[in-house]
């Protein structure tokens, strides 16, 4: 469960998204990651309190239906599916860009198609295959980030490979710590939050754990702290070693950091790692979204064909459908530059479209938790894993998410992506009530 959560969260949001967030706010992006991590911890504690009582697969969708309204369960499940399809698309786009490092003339769609086909096969075989694959993907990412932090700290404070120590001056020497001002900081928060999407995968996998309660507690406590260490540690090394305003001229900030440290041979290794990160994110997305489609089919909200299991007890129709949806990313990576020649960052455009739908599970977790406490006060008496300072922390976290969305609308680079998410939620709400009213009429 911990590796699945790490795999779903430490992906292209960190390896690719860091360039955009650093560009908007400079070294102060460190504070953005810390603040976002704190609020995500609170969301996970709210989820953990409810899951401890009812560790069900597809849990936050079920909680939304039970404690708020069935339309929110419907929107939560569909938002999860939409989110991971969109993130999967951005992973596919990233895979094409990463492969250009070794094969400059290779069309960007080729590696994406191959990667998604292999992941679909792996997910169709069994849950165990998914878990094994995700474990190794996550292990590669975690080991690399830890090594990068260690090597980076040595270079910063002592020097390395004949290069003198960089010290900490890059944190303020190129326009200050808050280079984009307050607005730039708030703009960065949207993509920073997006990079944490997937952490709620602990909730989806809880029902499939052998001993869910103690496993869940350990997973939530350790996953959030580890992600904070990895994110803040890695970004600290990048913005301290490499001047933040020079990152726009390089490909991956991670590759550039190792090159700056004089370890040029590591560029290929790091590129391989960020490639596995993209594969890991797409792998987690296929798993998560296919399980949500199974939940929707079980509740008769989408065709029952999505409940069908293959001989390995995998919802294969969902896996195939989600994979085909992710392949749209390949199409977008080819078509968008042709239709909009001025578009410089397709990854940023596609990836930020997942922010609003990705927040829906977090919002319903916080509201469901408030209703859960109100309806079941008897369950709280001897509960060993309560959310700290609730209900105040629920309200503060909801306000934080809302403010982030406001600044996402103000930012020209993410406004269109936000509107895509708004349109998706409106359309799905209309579809639900049309179907719901039809059932009532019948």
**Amino acid 441: pLDDT:** 47
Number of other residues whose CB lies within 10 A of the CB of residue 320: 15
Check pLDDT > 70 for residue 66.
Answer: yes
Mind listing the pLDDT tens digit for each residue in 4-46? 556 556 666 676 677 778 888 889 989 998 999 899 889 988 9
> Chain centroid to CA 163: how far?
36
- Which of the listed ranges 91-95, 350-354, 426-430, 431-435 does the model predict with the highest average pLDDT? 426-430
Percent of the chain with pLDDT over 70: 85
> How far is residue 323's CA from residue 13's CA, in Å, rounded to a whole number?
20
Q: Is the separation of the CB atoms in 308 and 315 below 8 Å?
A: yes
Mind listing the pLDDT tens digit for each residue in 157-189? 888 767 788 888 888 888 888 888 889 999 888
> How far is residue 283's CA from residue 327's CA, in Å, rounded to a whole number?
13
Residue 350's contacts (CB-CB under 8 Å, 6 or more residues apart) are 86, 89, 90, 93, 329, 332, 417
Question: Hey, what are 393's tokens?
Answer: 């922390």
**Amino acid 442: pLDDT:** 47
Q: What residues form DSSP beta bridges with 160?
A: 163
**Amino acid 7: pLDDT:** 56
- Which of the listed ranges 104-108, 135-139, 185-189, 400-404 does the model predict with the highest average pLDDT? 400-404
**Amino acid 2: pLDDT:** 60
DSSP assignment of 183-247 equals HHHHHHHHHHHHHTTTTTHHHHHHTTSSSHHHHHHHHHHHHHHHHHHHHHHHHHHHHHHS-GGGG
> How far is residue 83's CA from residue 428's CA, in Å, rounded to a whole number?
14
Average pLDDT of the residues in 239-256: 72
Burial of 290 (0-12, 13-18, 19+ CB in 10 A): buried
Mind listing the pLDDT tens digit for each residue in 286-316? 887 888 788 788 878 788 888 888 888 888 9
For each of the domains in the chain, give its residue range(s) and CATH number, in order of start.
Answer: 2-441 (1.20.1740.10)
> How far is residue 401's CA from residue 260's CA, in Å, rounded to a whole number?
36
Average pLDDT of the residues in 250-259: 66
Q: What pTM did the predictor assign? A: 0.83
Check pLDDT > 80 for residue 233.
Answer: yes
CA torsion 255-260-263-269 (nearest 10°) is 0
> How far is residue 116's CA from residue 385's CA, in Å, rounded to a whole number?
38
The least confident of 27-41, 272-286, 340-354 is: 340-354
Query: How confident is the prediction for the chain on average, in pLDDT?
Result: 81
């Amino acid at each position: 469960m911990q590796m699945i959560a790490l795999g779903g969260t430490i992906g292209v949001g960190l390896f690719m998204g860091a360039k955009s967030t650093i560009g908007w706010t400079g070294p102060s992006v460190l504070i953005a990651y810390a603040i976002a991590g704190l609020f995500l911890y609170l969301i996970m504690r709210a989820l953990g309190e409810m899951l401890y009582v009812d560790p069900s697969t597809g849990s936050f969708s079920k909680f939304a239906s039970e404690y708020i309204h069935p339309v929110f369960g419907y929107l939560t499940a569909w938002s999860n599916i939409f989110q991971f399809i969109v993130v999967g698309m951005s992973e596919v786009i990233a895979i094409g860009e990463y492969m250009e490092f070794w094969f400059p003339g290779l069309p960007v769609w080729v590696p994406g198609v191959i990667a998604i086909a292999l992941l679909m096969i792996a997910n169709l075989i069994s849950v165990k295959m998914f878990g094994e694959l995700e474990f190794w993907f996550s292990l590669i990412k975690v080991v690399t980030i830890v090594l990068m932090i260690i090597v980076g700290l040595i270079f910063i404070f002592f020097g390395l490979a004949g290069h003198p120590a960089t010290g900490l001056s890059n944190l303020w020497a190129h326009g200050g710590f808050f280079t984009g001002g307050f607005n730039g900081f708030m703009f960065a928060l949207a993509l920073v939050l997006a990079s944490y999407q997937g952490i709620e995968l602990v909730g989806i996998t809880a029902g499939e754990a052998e001993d869910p309660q103690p496993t869940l507690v350990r997973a939530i406590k350790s996953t959030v702290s580890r992600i904070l260490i990895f994110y803040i540690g890695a970004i600290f090394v990048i913005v301290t070693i490499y001047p933040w305003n020079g990152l726009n001229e390089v490909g991956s900030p991670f590759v550039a950091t190792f090159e700056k440290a004089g370890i040029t041979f590591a560029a290929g290794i790091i590129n391989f790692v960020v490639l596995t990160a993209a594969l890991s994110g797409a792998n987690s997305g296929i798993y998560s979204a296919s399980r949500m489609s199974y939940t929707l089919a079980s509740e008769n909200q989408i065709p029952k064909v999505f409940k069908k299991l293959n001989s390995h007890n995998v919802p294969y129709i969902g896996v195939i459908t989600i994979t085909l949806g992710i392949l749209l990313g390949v199409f977008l990576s080819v078509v968008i530059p042709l239709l909009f020649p001025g578009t410089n960052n397709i990854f940023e455009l596609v990836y930020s479209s997942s922010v609003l739908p990705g927040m829906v599970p977090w919002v319903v977790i916080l509201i469901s938790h408030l209703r859960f406490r109100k309806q079941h006060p008897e369950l709280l008496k001897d509960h060993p894993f309560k959310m700290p300072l609730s209900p105040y922390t629920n309200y503060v976290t909801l306000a934080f998410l809302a403010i982030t969305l406001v600044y996402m609308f103000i930012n020209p680079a993410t406004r269109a992506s936000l509107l895509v998410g708004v349109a998706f939620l409106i359309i799905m709400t209309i579809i639900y009530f049309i179907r719901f009213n039809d059932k009532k009429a019948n």
